[in-house]
Homo-oligomer: A and B are copies of this chain.
Amino acid sequence: MDLSERSREILRAIIQSYISTAEPVGSRTVTKRYNLGISPATVRNIMSDLEDLGFLAQPHTSAGRVPTDKAYRFYIDTMLDVKSLPRQQEEEILNYPLRRGDFHQLMQETTKLLSALSHYTGIVMAPKPAETVYRHMEFVRLTGGRALAIFVSNAGIVHNRMIVFDEDLTQKELERISAFLNHEMAGKTLRDMRSRVFQLMEDDKNKYTRLLMKFMKLWQDASYEGEEAGEAELFVGGLSEMFNIPDFRDYEKMKELFIAFEEKHKLLKLLDLAMEAEGVQVYIGSENKYFEMQGISLVVASYRGEGNVVGTLGVIGPSRMPYNTVIPLVDCTARVLGRLISER
């Protein structure tokens, strides 16, 4: 992968040209638009080499050349100097009129922000119930042997889940359980709580045991079902932006894309994966096995809430994306969302 300086320059020129025009780039174009003091014929020779190396591809014989996924990867890793977000755009993010009546709305609005500023589609993965630290929990008795478990995080995120009993519990009993759990579980995630409760039940034959046992059994069933389903919620905004991208000006392609969008669990898998890494991640085309689509890239970053990484957000667009502006945009948005969550 050791290209000569000149080859790199030409590759960069081709990528940049393609990013801005969406048209295959020919040798003449390169010499005309980027003053490299080199003739088209020379460029052609080098382009041919780059094609052999897998950086470029030709849609057909008499067309110009187009960067491959490999080229984008190389470009992002070695040739891109991501400037921090220009002051003006940072202002735009901060001034974006985010409605945040409740947490759901905040998530949804953030996708719109991402979409509006990038002109692509914005996605946000909400914090996962199982990994959230709750401040408060509460059980509300409903009719028909059912109760609702409600969990509130420090950040004001509310999760709830239905629990079905086969015997009737009074609201009083439920309140005793809540009080006990609230006291015992401060600062723990749902996942931790679950194991802690089981442990308690082993150790300590306290008076809550029978109820708790029953309760936790049911709860486990309920949350297991949730985890199967992907658990974390995915928000998508600005889908229609996809129709403005010349790369996808094709009915069949678009259909494929929208079908992929409906398989949210795959996207969630990918976003989940991105939580591991620090900073902004870029997934190009078929680099990831969960949202593998020709010509499509994701730029994602994890965001924090109360210190911990709790979710991810990002942008879906063509691989032909102006990464130098999109990357800092996603980065900045992730930080802003993190701040909004933490100060709630």
Interface residues of A (CB under 8 A from B): 99-105, 135-136, 138, 140, 142-144, 146, 148, 150, 152, 154-156, 158-162, 222, 225-226, 229, 233, 237-240, 243, 249-251, 254-255, 258-259, 261-262, 343-344
Contact = CB atoms under 8 A, between A and B. Distances in A.
A139 to B, nearest CB: 10
A243 B250 CA distance: 12
B146 A135 contact: no
A152 to B, nearest CB: 5
Given A136-B140, A156-B146, A101 B343 contact: no
Contact of A142 (B105, B156, B239, B258): B156
B262 A243 contact: no
A102 B160 CA distance: 6
Main secondary structure of the interface of A (DSSP, over half): mixed
Contact of A162 (B102, B154, B229, B240): B102
Contacts of A144: 343-344
A255 B258 CA distance: 12
A225 B99 contact: yes
A261 B48 CA distance: 46
A150 B152 contact: yes
A278 to B, nearest CB: 26
B146 A344 contact: yes
A344 B148 CA distance: 10
Contacts of A243: 251, 254-255, 258-259
Lowest 6 A-B CB distances belong to which pairs? A243-B255, A240-B258, A240-B259, A136-B140, A158-B160, A140-B152
Contact of A239 (B104, B156, B229, B262): B262
Most B CB atoms within 10 A — which of A146, A152, A229, A237? A152
A154 B142 contact: yes
A142 B135 contact: yes
A249 B254 CA distance: 11
A101 to B, nearest CB: 5
Nearest to A159: B102
